[in-house]
Amino acid sequence: MEDLPEALLTEILKRITRTSDLNYLSLVSKQLYKIEGNQRGAVRVGSGLCTTTKALTSFCARFPNLRKVEIDYSGWIPGHGKQLDNKGLSVFSSHCSSLIDLTLSFCSCIDDSGLACLAYCKTLVSLRLNSAPKITSVRLFSVAVGCTSLSALHLIDCEKINTVEWLEYLGRDGSLEELVVKNCQGINHHDFLKFGSGWMKLQKFEFERKRDRFDCLPGDVVYESSYDAHSMDVYDFCCESLKDLRLAHIKTWPEVGLRVLLGKCKGLEKLCLEYVRALNDNDMIALSRSCSNLKSILLRLNLQRYSSDVSYCETRTSFTDNSLYALANCRMLQTVDLSFTGCSPDWPSEIGFTQQGFLVLIQSCPIRVLVLNNANFFDDEGMKALSSSPHLETLELILCHAVTDAGMRFIAHTPCLSNLTLRVCHYITDVGVAELGRAHKLESLVIEYCGEVSPQAAQGVAKSVHYTKYSSDALMKIIGLGIY
């Protein structure tokens, strides 16, 4: 190995992607040790990292060209040793001259004085702070000012970040293309309206408020179903570059707030709305008028109270068939994921969508991936209509109690269907699964907690089969039964 040209060794190392393989290979010779260290561009470290200044300095010298560093202390306990502190972070920032991407997860020993050193990292492009309880808005502002190349910022579970001078500054003078804020109690969704001209550059935006245990309940507030937040342009900003938008666990009533984005994102390709209160058909109509490039939509809907006049109030999910008819105009839509939480299978009226409206959407767009969770309006007739979808490749049904073996017989003949997942579908039996096997089309079949399907019936139905008889906490979270 020592006699091989350095250029050849470098090329060999470039083709090895597993970190463990690179670590072992670097022990073969001093030359490989040096070359591998020079070309390593990313590391992920945690409890095994020695945090003394000498060890950290040696570590940085071992990998002089690091561009991406992730420090993760998830699951850390005192017995795992010391965490990286402010002084250690200063070593990283001062010795990693090529650093452009930094993630700090569960680093409880790092506070404002440690974060301050990042203000001098002029090359820093991406910063992710995950569970940083000691970081405040004051020091985040200094990072916003100092890191002039910053284009991606993630703030997750940062309890002390509240005032939004940093947000105003980044909107005015920054170059953010990606902004993610989750579970930061001091930041309201109305605060982002201060981002101003920064919306013009932003390509991905995600805002999630901390989950409330009452999120799945209708609540006492009655929302006006005919209210149109888009009838007049109350906010003077443009977000035509935004391609990926996610809003979760926020209330958009009575103020307009971030719901106005749904009528402004002309370049939007991916939309995710999870338990957003007070939205109505006018929001989806405004979206469909402006977003001709929409390719993916995910809706997590719960029961809310709506009224069109003072004499009548109905409890249902946010949108009706009018939203589906509007989305049917998005002719690039390929992925649809619909989940309905708290809706009884005995009361289809609790879901604002009907099967008729849903099928209009399916038949108008080139849907390749479809996920339905607790869709009590969808039955075997819907499966029959779905079986003629020329583009459908992946179908996932969760808690769809109106789908039976007859539906399996229909869906087995879907032209391009190759991946099927059934979760908690108790009216599908071995007979329906046998229909799938006779079609010989499936690449992948997942069956979880479908009480009338046996493991013997599932075997051989697809090239890859995953079968689980009993439910788990993870599955309960997927189907929206309130276990978080």
Q: Count how many Cα atoms sit within 13 Å of the Cα of residue 349 in the half-sphere of its side chain.
A: 4
Q: Which of 316, 279, 278 is nearest to 297 (CA)?
A: 279
The CA distances from residue 192 to 46, 133, 139, 206, 482, in Å, are 33, 21, 19, 11, 29
Task: Convert the pLDDT of each residue in 188-231 to its tens digit.
Answer: 888 998 898 999 999 999 999 988 766 667 778 899 999 998 88
Percentage, residues of the chain above pLDDT 90: 68
Task: Convert the pLDDT of each residue in 327-352 to its tens digit.
Answer: 999 999 999 999 999 998 877 789 99
Percentage, residues of the chain above pLDDT 70: 94
Q: And the tokens for 364?
A: 């108008």
3-state secondary structure string across 3-31: CCCHHHHHHHHHCCCCHHHHHHHCCCCHH
- Per the model's pLDDT, the better-predicted residue between 461 and 14 turns out to be 461
pLDDT at 310: 64
pLDDT-derived band at 1 (thresholds 50, 70, 90) equals: low
**What is the rounded distance in angstroms from the CA atom of residue 190 to the CA atom of residue 204?**
18
**What is the rounded distance in angstroms from the CA atom of residue 91 to the CA atom of residue 50?**
13
pTM reported for the whole predicted model? 0.90
Region 236-242 average pLDDT: 89
Whether pLDDT at 313 is above 90: no
145-159, 243-257, 279-293, 368-382: segment of lowest average pLDDT: 243-257
pLDDT at 482: 38
Region 229-248 average pLDDT: 88
Task: Convert the pLDDT of each residue in 214-226 to its tens digit.
Answer: 666 777 889 999 9
Task: Convert the pLDDT of each residue in 343-401 to its tens digit.
Answer: 988 777 899 999 999 999 999 999 999 999 999 999 999 999 999 999 999 999 999 99
User: Can you tell me which residue has the tokens 């020091």?
Assistant: 139
pLDDT-derived band at 7 (thresholds 50, 70, 90) equals: confident
Contact assessment for residue 22 and residue 12, using Cβ atoms and an 8 Å cutoff: no
Region 72-98 average pLDDT: 91
Task: Convert the pLDDT of each residue in 420-449 to its tens digit.
Answer: 999 999 999 999 999 999 988 899 999 999
What's the CATH fold of domain 1-39?
A: Monooxygenase (1.20.1280)
pLDDT at 481: 47
b/e per residue, 176-213, with b = 16+ CB within 10 A? bbbbbbbbbeebbbebbbebbebbebbbbbbbbbeeee
Whole-number mean pLDDT of the chain?
90
208 Cβ contact partners less than 8 Å away, ≥ 6 residues apart: 181, 182, 183, 246, 247, 248, 249, 250, 274
For the chain, the structural domain boundaries read 1-39
Region 108-115 average pLDDT: 94
Contact assessment for residue 95 and residue 61, using Cβ atoms and an 8 Å cutoff: yes
